[in-house]
């Protein structure tokens, strides 16, 4: 039954046009970035960094390198927006539309309903990130040759790494596993707000505000020593996979924090949903 | 004849506002039960509590002997519900909507979905998107989703809202069919007193969250026999009749004689006191007149009128 209920939730989710806004936005953003990368000084700067460090330019100005560069603005700006949009909609939109009352006149428990919806949200987050990664690589390949991967992230992770194309592709895929976890976490925050008596837009805005405040506080100069207390710090594990050597302890620690955070958020949402009155 | 719905001393507050105040009643198997009340009287709150969507502050609600708060699955297994404005996934077909909703109850075979679509008369339109449906078709679809789990009890919250006279007549006909052909117990809340009078065997009336009447419709008609009295000075006549304990109540040109008062004696009394009686006849009590008289009474009188009849 759970499997069929989950399938039906996905059917509802992917039957809506607004679900695809995120995918469309990624498509446009990636092509716009590729154009600017191709015709701006961005590329020259990257070539200079590689040259100064003694690496051959043409091996590393590749589809993989460009795909990684394209990920940053999308992950900072677009991914939270679309993950929160869907997360905020899952419960709150059904309440607003009145379909939640129809569902809750049936013998399904509120906890089970929330669990099914959350699982659907997680699957959406995974699909969103996979699409983002595949689209970025495919479009980058249309403009740039296949080659090694060069990753340069000065702050805050201090990463300067080069990989051959096979290792680069493998790491690119591993990074997307962690990005899926990030998207699911962002979705879960908005989902939790949506479980309370709020409008879908309010749940999305609250989710985004939570993430934004995290980012702002983490970057305050006097908070440098307390970074590990902010969720955003832990959501950067996808970058850590490009470190040489990989700091697995940091990754495991952050994964535990993210897992605990998601569990807590989900439980708060479930309790909030359980105790509230569903009225027209 | 078993009890399907038991509501015992239920109270519910929204903030400081009392929505439902110590309400108790029960519904028997096979009945068509009507819940009446003004806007904000607490009808939808009671239905919400019956379906486990609104939590009662105190009291107990049982459906099929199972407590809705602690045994939700058992309580709602054989229940179908339709709301005032049925909401569906507009971008999906009626069939997909039914499939999705059915799986919140139990696995439902495709044949059953086909059967209910046939029953409500939507065959041929089941694969159209719901956004193309008219209000009447939506109501039929709402009925179809309520019938999917093969219910024994159907809860209808303001079922005739937004329907034209033809739609209302069709709805009445359908409710009677559901009760007669499928043997369903029907619990409905409505503003349409005429429809309730034609459909229901028993009613409960709420006023400001309080139950002010619970009884059989036949009981109302037998218990409250009003008479039309046309005299030269109605007010003076009723004042005199009331002072002498000959009538219980009066309104407009109607009087309700006190129990055990013989009508010829009452008439003789009026004539003896110099009144010119030009008309005196029995006035059939309608649900509307009964309901309005309940609504216009003072709170104190209403409590006295609360009747528990089986």
Structure token digits, residue A204: 């999305």
Among A4, A11, A101, the residue with its CB nearest the CB of B53 is A101
pLDDT for position B301: 41
Contact between A105 and B92 using a beta-carbon 8 Å cutoff:
no
- Whether A279 is in a domain gets the answer no
Q: Touching check for A102 and chain B: CB below 8 Å?
A: yes
Per the structure, the complete domain to which residue A27 belongs is given by 2-274
Contact between A108 and B105 using a beta-carbon 8 Å cutoff:
yes
Establish how many alpha carbons lie within 13 A of residue B82's alpha carbon, considering only the half-sphere containing its beta carbon.
Answer: 26
Write out pLDDT tens, residues A70-108: 888 888 888 899 999 999 999 999 999 999 999 999 999
Domain segments of chain B: what residues?
Answer: 3-78+151-220, 225-284
- Whether A280 is in a domain gets the answer no
Which 15-74 residues of chain A touch chain B by CB within 8 A? 15-17
Q: Quote the CA–CA distance of B220 and B212 in Å, as a whole number.
A: 13
Average pLDDT for A126-136: 90
Among B79, B83, B107, the residue with its CB nearest the CB of A1 is B107
Average pLDDT for A104-130: 94
pLDDT of B309 over the 60 cut: no
Residues of B in contact with A99 (CB under 8 A): 87-89
Write out pLDDT tens, residues A201-251: 999 999 999 999 998 988 888 888 888 899 998 998 998 888 888 888 999
Contacts of A175 (CB under 8 A, 6+ apart): A68, A71, A238, A239, A241, A242
Residues of A in contact with B107 (CB under 8 A): 1, 4
- pLDDT classification of A125: cutoffs 50, 70, 90: very high
Structure token digits, residue A55: 């690496």
pLDDT for position B184: 92
Write out pLDDT tens, residues B244-302: 888 888 887 888 888 888 888 888 999 999 999 989 888 877 788 778 877 776 443 44
Q: Touching check for A8 and chain B: CB below 8 Å?
A: yes
Contact between B89 and A12 using a beta-carbon 8 Å cutoff:
yes
Establish how many alpha carbons lie within 13 A of residue B288's alpha carbon, considering only the half-sphere containing its beta carbon.
Answer: 6
Contact between B76 and A102 using a beta-carbon 8 Å cutoff:
no
pLDDT of B308 over the 50 cut: no
User: Quick one: which H or E segment has residue B249?
Assistant: strand B247-251
Average pLDDT for B213-236: 83
User: Quick one: which H or E segment has residue B61?
Assistant: strand B58-63
Instruction: Quote ipTM for the complex.
Output: 0.82
pLDDT for position B291: 82
Contact between A107 and B77 using a beta-carbon 8 Å cutoff:
yes
Contact between B83 and A98 using a beta-carbon 8 Å cutoff:
yes
Q: Quote the CA–CA distance of A65 and A129 in Å, as a whole number.
A: 18
Superfamily (CATH) of domain B3-78+151-220:
P-loop containing nucleotide triphosphate hydrolases (3.40.50.300)
pLDDT for position B1: 56
Q: Touching check for A3 and chain B: CB below 8 Å?
A: no
The shortest C-alpha distance from A12 to chain B (Å) reads 8
Which CA distances in Å does B74 have to A108, B62, B71, B78, B105? 10, 10, 6, 8, 11
Average pLDDT for A32-45: 78
Q: Report yes or no: B52 and B44 within 8 Å, Cβ to Cβ.
A: no
Peptide bond into A245 cis (omega under 30): yes
Which residue carries 């699955």 as its tokens?
B73
What values do phi and psi take at B159, rounded to 5?
-70, -25
DSSP B205-237: EEETTEEEEEEEHHHHHHH--EEEEEES-HHHH
**Mean pLDDT of all residues belonging to chain A:** 88
Write out pLDDT tens, residues A151-178: 888 777 678 888 888 999 999 999 999 9
pLDDT for position B310: 41
């Amino acid at each position: 039954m759970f499997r069929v209920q989950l399938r039906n939730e996905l059917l509802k989710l992917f039957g809506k046009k607004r679900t695809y806004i995120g995918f469309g936005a990624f498509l446009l953003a990636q092509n716009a970035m590729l154009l600017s990368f191709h015709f701006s000084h961005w590329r020259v700067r990257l070539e200079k960094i590689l040259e100064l460090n003694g690496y051959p330019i043409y091996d590393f100005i590749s589809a993989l390198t460009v795909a990684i560069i394209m990920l940053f603005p999308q992950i900072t700006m677009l991914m939270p927006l679309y993950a929160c949009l869907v997360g905020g909609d899952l419960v709150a939109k059904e309440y607003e539309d009145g379909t939640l009352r129809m569902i809750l006149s049936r013998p399904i428990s509120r906890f089970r309903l929330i669990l099914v919806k959350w699982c659907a949200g997680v699957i959406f987050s995974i699909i969103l990130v996979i699409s983002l990664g595949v689209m970025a690589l495919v479009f980058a390949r249309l403009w740039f040759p296949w080659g090694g991967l060069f990753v340069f992230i000065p702050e805050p992770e201090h990463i300067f790494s080069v990989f051959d194309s096979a290792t680069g592709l493998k790491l690119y895929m591993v990074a997307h596993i962690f990005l899926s976890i990030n998207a699911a976490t962002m979705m879960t925050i908005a989902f939790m707000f949506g479980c309370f008596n709020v409008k879908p837009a309010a749940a999305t805005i609250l989710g985004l505000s939570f993430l934004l405040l995290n980012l702002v506080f983490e970057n305050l100069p006097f908070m440098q020593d307390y970074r590990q207390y902010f969720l955003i710090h832990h959501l950067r594990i996808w970058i850590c996979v490009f470190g040489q050597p990989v700091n697995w302890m940091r990754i495991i620690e952050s994964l535990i924090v993210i897992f605990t955070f998601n569990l807590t958020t989900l439980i708060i949402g479930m309790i909030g949903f359980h105790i509230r009155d569903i009225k027209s | 004849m078993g009890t399907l719905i038991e509501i015992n001393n239920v109270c519910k507050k929204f903030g400081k506002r009392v929505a439902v105040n110590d309400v108790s009643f029960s519904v028997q198997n096979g009945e068509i039960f009507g819940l009446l009340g003004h806007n904000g009287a607490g009808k939808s709150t009671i239905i919400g509590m019956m379906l486990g969507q609104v939590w009662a502050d105190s009291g107990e609600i049982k459906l099929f002997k199972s407590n809705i708060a602690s045994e939700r699955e058992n309580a709602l297994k054989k229940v179908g519900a339709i709301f005032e404005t049925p909401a569906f996934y507009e971008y999906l077909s009626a069939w997909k909507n039914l499939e999705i909703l059915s799986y919140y109850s139990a696995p439902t075979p495709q044949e059953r979905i086909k059967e209910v679509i046939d029953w409500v008369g939507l065959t041929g339109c089941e694969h159209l998107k719901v956004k193309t449906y008219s209000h009447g078709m939506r109501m039929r679809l709402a009925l179809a989703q309520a019938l999917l789990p093969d219910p024994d009890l159907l809860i209808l919250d303001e079922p005739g809202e937004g329907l034209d006279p033809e739609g209302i007549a069709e709805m009445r006909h359908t409710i009677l069919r559901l009760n007669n052909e499928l043997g369903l117990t029907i619990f409905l809340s409505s503003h349409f007193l005429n429809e309730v009078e034609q459909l229901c065997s028993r009613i409960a009336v709420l006023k400001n969250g309080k139950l002010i009447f619970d009884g059989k419709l036949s009981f109302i008609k037998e218990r409250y026999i009003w008479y039309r009295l046309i005299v030269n000075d109605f007010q003076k006549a009723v004042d005199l009749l009331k002072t002498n304990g000959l009538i219980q109540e009066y309104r407009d040109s109607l009087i309700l004689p006190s129990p055990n008062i013989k009508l010829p004696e009452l008439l003789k009394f009026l004539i003896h006191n110099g009144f010119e009686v030009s008309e005196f006849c029995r006035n059939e009590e309608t649900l509307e007149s009964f309901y309005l008289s309940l609504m216009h009474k003072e709170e104190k009188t209403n409590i006295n009128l609360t009747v528990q009849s089986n």
